[in-house]
Amino acid sequence: MTTVGDLTARNASFASAGFERDLTINPGGNVMVIGCVDPRVDPGHVLGLANGEAAIIRNVGGRVTPATLRTMAMLSKVGQANAETRRPGPLNLVLLHHTDCGMNDLAAFPGLLAEYFETTVDELDAKSVTDPVGSVRTDVEVIRQSIHAPDYLVSGLVYDVRTGAVEVVVPPTQVPID
């Protein structure tokens, strides 16, 4: 079992040898990843991201829910308030779903899922809860319908927890502009 003592000892090593004082609040790689909280699927590790390269939002299933969209809106305002630290170019929004997701187990609890997605039980089939390829396509479409900005590219990836490989299901495309 990892203890708080273990964590603070690791932090002491990080603070003395790995801390990067000059990181900015905006992601240095103009990347935002939405991924699952599953400990097997740490987006920074799976995608080989450097510290500060990406903003990462994690939730159950890595899904684009109304709460995720609200979080993104808040992060956008933080980014705008610190515009001088943002690199030029589009923001690459990467949706990362994965195989063997715990969302599969939640399919037996439609009321809970409906609450999570802020929808009705009758509309859950459209969320592709048990299919990572379908769910990443669904969520890319949610982004395309919800965000209308000229500087966003959105893509959908599926990570295979058995092989460690990532498949591009939806290649990067610009979101529609109002």
**151 annotated among ligand-binding-site residues:** no
According to DSSP, residue 86 is labeled P
- Residue pair 88/163 in contact (Cβ under 8 Å)? The answer is no
**131 annotated among ligand-binding-site residues:** no
Residue 96: count of CB within 10 angstroms of its CB: 23
Which residues, 6+ apart, have CB-to-CB distance to 54 below 8 Å?
27, 29, 31, 32, 33, 43, 44, 47, 94
**Residue pointed to by tokens 């969209």:** 69
* CA atoms of 125 and 107, how far apart (whole Å): 10
**97 annotated among ligand-binding-site residues:** no
**101 annotated among ligand-binding-site residues:** yes
Which residues, 6+ apart, have CB-to-CB distance to 98 below 8 Å?
36, 38, 40, 41, 62, 132, 158, 159, 160, 161
* CA atoms of 178 and 118, how far apart (whole Å): 25
Binding residue numbers: 36, 38, 98, 101
Q: Residues within the annotated binding site for Zn(2+)?
A: 36, 38, 98, 101
